[in-house]
């Protein structure tokens, strides 16, 4: 009988002393072979403490890059180089340098959904879990916030500081309209609505809770409700169903991040066999990007 992909992955993991890290938006079968599944903050923290020689990163480019920045001496494999975050591609380091010149007293907070080069220009990074906590931890009362305008607007409502947003957005979350949420609410009137802070302001204003993907699991765990409308990428429902089999979850139609789906069991196998594609970054960029990432992790979770 031919070997199942899951068995082959287990075999290769042992041979290579590899760990598999997967984001909550990965395909269900990829989540199921991972050693750790989580949000961007959890994955960065996990990457920073692994003892494996090889990290197979099942997520998009910026997440795999952060794992490399935190582990410059380890091999970080990214099974499909085309798995890129379009929001991360909307930001560039020269633009951040110009803003720093225009607003010299501002501190730069860069959402992890950016290239290592953008992180290298920043004072501190944040994730959707701790964006408010990170901004409020800073000295300056003026914050340059890149690259998600929706997240920047969300942060602005929870801080006395002035937040200058970069005009980027996540196409997947920006397409989660109030109309789509309202249709689900009409169908499931008892459901709580929990949305990601990358959603549009009017969606956030009408939600019961705003959470990172990992924070959504914490919210459900603590909620007396049994039904939930989930305002984020559809694969989040895989972990929710797995951890809370007695509760009901409803996805927003069309909420799909296509590049997250490029990682498959087959390309995980190929990457472990060939030890590539590998994430490579210049030592200078890694050294400059590490400090803002470590500063972010020291702030810890916000949800």
Residues found near ligand 13P in the complex (CB under 6 A): 24, 39-40, 113, 127-128, 170, 196, 198, 212-213
- Cβ(172)–Cβ(149) below 8 Å: no
CB of 113 to ligand SF4, least distance (A): 5
5 touches ligand SF4 by CB under 6 A: no
Q: Which does 86 bind (CB under 5 to 8 A by kind): ligand 13P, ligand SF4, none?
A: ligand SF4
67 touches ligand SF4 by CB under 6 A: no
Cβ proximity to ligand 13P: between 117 and 198 the closer is 198
Residue with tokens 């950016």: 114
User: Residue 275: in which H helix or E strand, if any?
Assistant: none
Entry field: residues in the chain: 303
- Which of 257, 268, 286, 293 binds ligand SF4 (CB under 6 A)? It is 257
Nearest Cα residue to 33 out of 50, 53, 18: 18
Euclidean distance between CA atoms 36 and 6, whole angstroms: 15
- Cβ(150)–Cβ(174) below 8 Å: yes
Cβ proximity to ligand 13P: between 138 and 236 the closer is 236
CB of 156 to ligand 13P, least distance (A): 19
* β-pair partners for 228: 192, 249
Cβ proximity to ligand SF4: between 127 and 267 the closer is 127
277 touches ligand SF4 by CB under 6 A: no
172 touches ligand SF4 by CB under 6 A: yes
Neighbouring residues of 29: CB distance < 8 A, sequence distance ≥ 6: 265
CB of 17 to ligand 13P, least distance (A): 27
DSSP 171-235: HHHHT--HHHHHHHHHH-TT-EEEE-TTS-HHHHHT-SEE--HHHHHHHHHH-S-SEEEEES-TT
85 touches ligand SF4 by CB under 6 A: yes
Note if the bond before 147 is cis, omega within 30 degrees.
yes
Residues 87-126 binding ligand SF4 (CB under 6 A) are: 87, 113
Q: Provide the mask over 12-41, with x wherever binding to ligand SF4 is found by CB under 6 A and - wherever it is not.
A: ------------------------------
- Cβ(51)–Cβ(18) below 8 Å: no
- Which of 107, 233, 235, 303 binds ligand SF4 (CB under 6 A)? It is 233
Q: Which does 212 bind (CB under 5 to 8 A by kind): ligand SF4, ligand 13P, none?
A: ligand 13P
CB of 294 to ligand SF4, least distance (A): 22
Cα dist from 103 to 59, 107, 111, 118, 141, whole Å: 34, 9, 19, 17, 12
- Which of 55, 56, 60, 77 binds ligand SF4 (CB under 6 A)? It is 60
**Binding interface with ligand SF4 (CB under 6 A):** 60, 85-87, 113, 170, 172-173, 198, 233, 257, 260
């Amino acid at each position: 009988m031919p070997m199942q992909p899951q068995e082959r992955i287990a075999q290769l993991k042992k041979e290579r002393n590899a760990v598999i890290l997967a984001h909550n938006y990965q395909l269900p079968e990829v989540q199921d072979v991972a050693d750790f599944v989580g949000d961007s903050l959890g994955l960065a923290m996990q990457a920073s403490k692994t003892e494996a020689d090889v990290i197979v990163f099942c997520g998009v480019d910026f997440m795999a890059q952060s794992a490399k920045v935190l582990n410059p001496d380890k091999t970080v494999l990214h099974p499909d180089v085309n798995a890129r975050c379009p929001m991360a591609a909307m930001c560039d380091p020269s633009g951040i340098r110009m803003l720093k010149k225009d607003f010299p007293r501002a501190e730069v907070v860069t959402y992890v959904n950016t290239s290592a080069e953008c992180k290298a220009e920043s004072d501190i990074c944040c994730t959707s879990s701790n964006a408010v906590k990170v901004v409020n931890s800073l000295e300056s009362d003026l914050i340059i916030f890149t690259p998600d305008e929706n997240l920047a607007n969300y942060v602005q409502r929870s801080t006395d500081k002035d937040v200058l947003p970069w005009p980027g957005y996540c196409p997947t979350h920006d397409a989660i309209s109030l109309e789509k949420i309202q249709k689900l609410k009409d169908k499931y009137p008892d459901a709580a609505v929990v949305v990601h802070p990358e959603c549009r302001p009017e969606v956030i204003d009408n939600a019961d809770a705003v959470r990172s993907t990992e924070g959504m699991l914490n919210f459900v765990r603590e909620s007396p409700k049994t039904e939930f409308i989930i305002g984020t990428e559809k694969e989040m429902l895989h972990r929710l169903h797995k951890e809370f089999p007695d509760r009901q979850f409803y996805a927003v139609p069309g909420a799909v991040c296509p590049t997250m789906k490029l990682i498959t069991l087959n390309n995980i196998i190929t990457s472990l066999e060939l030890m590539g594609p590998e994430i490579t970054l210049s030592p200078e960029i890694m050294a400059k990007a590490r400090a803002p990432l470590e500063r972010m992790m020291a702030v810890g979770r916000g949800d």
